[in-house]
Amino acid sequence: MKFSLLIVSITVALSLFSCHRGKGEQSTLSSGEVSAVTDHPGEITISREQFASMKMEIGDPAPMMFSDLISANGYIMASPTGCAKISTLISGRVRQINFSTGDFVNSGQTLFTLEGHEIILLQQDYSVAFQKLKLLKADYERMQSLYDEKIAAQKDFLKAESDYKIGQSEVEGLRARLKMIYIDPAVIENGDIVPFLTIRSPISGTITQQKLVLGEYLLPFETAMEVVNEDKLRLKLELFENSVSNLRTGQQVLFSTPDHPDRKFSATLSHIGKAVSPEARTVECFAEINGTDRKLFLDNMYVESSITTLEREALAVPEAALIQDHERDYVLILAGETDGQMTFRQIPVQTGATRQGYTEILDENIDSVLLKGVYNLWTGE
């Protein structure tokens, strides 16, 4: 490797080819008188006039913010409180359907209604048990009074007490079942029967699934609808186990979606899993989406993301100031200036991350670096 300056007496067009690292300017030495190469390998001398005519610049590495990134793929999913799978605890025939996929519903709105024999029978059982309990209670209170007066035998009193408590337990159990299917027991106690079952939405959101057909017989625990609250969408990310040690809650996450690949959305890492998937060897993590219109996102949408794990300030130079040769990086520094002649020396440097056209310099005490115009001086053979 050597540095060479071409001495010219007339203006000619020169093309210098190099393995320059950056995307810097591609001009040539074509004007003015150029001085000879120095006797020292790795050094090159030019005049002050040439320095000015080629618009070169000298400066020190400047502080910039750099960050380490971890890439992760995942999905946009609703949080556990932002998604509801609607089913029923009792079978029945679909009587009415009020909403379809894509509709927005408020919490408490009726989604659909069911009718059927089991719904009526449960109310009848409760009515019978409730009325029977009144008789058992009256008999228990009467026997207690007689027992206190030493008139009734203890055996008769205990039987009346047992029957009353069994009846009370039966009523409470049926009352709980009615409340679970959102039928008010007070209506049954007044002698009325609710002819159909009303299924309401437990959350506000958009219906993402609707599997019902009028007249269909719906079985217990069978998912009939799904509602997703867009305001509670978040990122579910899968990260390899060797990356988790660098994660902290509160770190910034940038992600993009298939329909907006060039647009970066922001999120904040909120949960870091504590278990590794045996199959994929990944850890499940979650990030809360920052103030973005969530209508742009869909539940279970695929995303590509990067997590900023470490931000630091470091000294950097433009990529155009770097020379790469034999997998080593070099810069040209001003070694001295005498009688209008500027001498530059090539020195190796250790480089780190690159961001926005600047590369981190890990060496200390590096100054007077040729920041602009390196491509005009350097050629390799």
Per the listing, tokens 């959305």 go with: 265
For residues 127 and 188, what is the distance between their CA atoms, to the nearest angstrom? 6
Is 266:252 a contact under the CB 8 Å cutoff?
yes
pTM for the model: 0.64
Every domain of the chain and the residues it spans: 69-81+229-313, 83-227
Task: Encode pLDDT of 285-344 as tens digits.
Answer: 999 999 877 778 999 999 999 998 877 788 999 998 898 877 889 999 999 988 889 999
pLDDT score of 369 = 92
Per the listing, tokens 């609710």 go with: 194
Residue 183's Cβ-count burial label (10 Å; 0-12, 13-18, 19+) is: buried
pLDDT score of 18 = 37
Give 276's strand partners: 283
Residues 6+ apart with CB under 8 A from 191: 127
- Class level of CATH domain 83-227: mainly beta
Phi, psi at 6, each rounded to 5°? -90, 130
pLDDT score of 12 = 28
For residues 323 and 325, what is the distance between their CA atoms, to the nearest angstrom? 7
Is 69-81+229-313's fold the same as 83-227's?
no
pLDDT score of 211 = 92
State both tokens at 140: 């228990």
3-state secondary structure of 267: strand
Residue 178's Cβ-count burial label (10 Å; 0-12, 13-18, 19+) is: buried
pLDDT score of 66 = 78
Q: Residues for the chain: how many in total?
A: 381
Kind of pairing, strands 92-97 and 110-115? antiparallel
Phi, psi at 328, each rounded to 5°? -115, 150
Instruction: Give per-10-residue mean pLDDT for the chain (381 aa).
Output: 32 33 40 43 85 90 84 92 93 95 95 94 95 91 82 84 93 94 92 92 94 93 94 93 87 90 91 90 93 83 90 86 86 90 91 85 90 74 41
> What CATH number matches the domain at 69-81+229-313, 2.60.40.420, 2.40.30.170, 3.40.50.1360, 2.70.240.10?
2.40.30.170
Residues 6+ apart with CB under 8 A from 59: 368, 369, 371
pLDDT score of 40 = 59
